[in-house]
Amino acid sequence: MKNTLLFLATAITLLFGCQVTLNAQKTNTWKGGTPGRVNDWYCATNWSNGAVPNEFSNVVIPDVSATTHAAPVLLKGEAEINALLLHSGAQLTIGQAAALTVLENAEGISERSLRLNGKINLPGDALEKKMNEPLFVRGW
């Protein structure tokens, strides 16, 4: 009886007391074009995963000039993502009341691809590079 109680107590502890959440990086690609919110960064249906990117997201911004014509706009608030890849011809706008933090990797950022009125925090020495040159930080 004592062994059975010990086993049950151990099993309950393992099931409920030792929960581990694993968060893997996932690629989330901008689609845009949701009616009424075509450029809204915070609209989940504008993203391939159906969710707004977070600190575990590897964000890909494609050139939408031949599809939705709706490039992402982060108008206000603070967003944090794992990585950012701007394809050739892509554009990202960060509004005056907004900030984007990229934790690990940033690629394809240039004066043409980034419309910056707010703030962007990039990993490593990327902030020291000139915005008129493409930035490549720690590979994609």
Q: What is the pLDDT of residues 8-21, one digit of tens each?
A: 555 555 445 444 44
Q: What's the CA gap between 108 and 26, in Å, rounded?
A: 19
Q: What is the pLDDT of residue 19?
A: 45
Which parts of the chain have pLDDT scores under 70? 1-23, 125-140
Give the start-to-end residue ranges of the domains of the chain.
Answer: 23-137
Phi/psi of residue 44, nearest 5 degrees: -60, -35
Residue type, 66: A
Q: What is the pLDDT of residue 1?
A: 63
Q: Which run of H or of E encompasses 111?
A: none
Q: What's the CA gap between 25 and 105, in Å, rounded?
A: 12
**Structure tokens given for 78:** 């603070």
Phi/psi of residue 61, nearest 5 degrees: -110, 110
The alpha-helical segments, DSSP class H, found in 13-137 are none
Q: What is the pLDDT of residue 8?
A: 55
Q: What is the pLDDT of residue 125?
A: 56
**Neighbouring C-beta atoms of residue 105, cutoff 10 Å:** 21
* pTM: predicted TM-score of the whole model, two decimal places: 0.74
Give the count of alpha carbons within 13 A of 66, CB side only.
Answer: 4
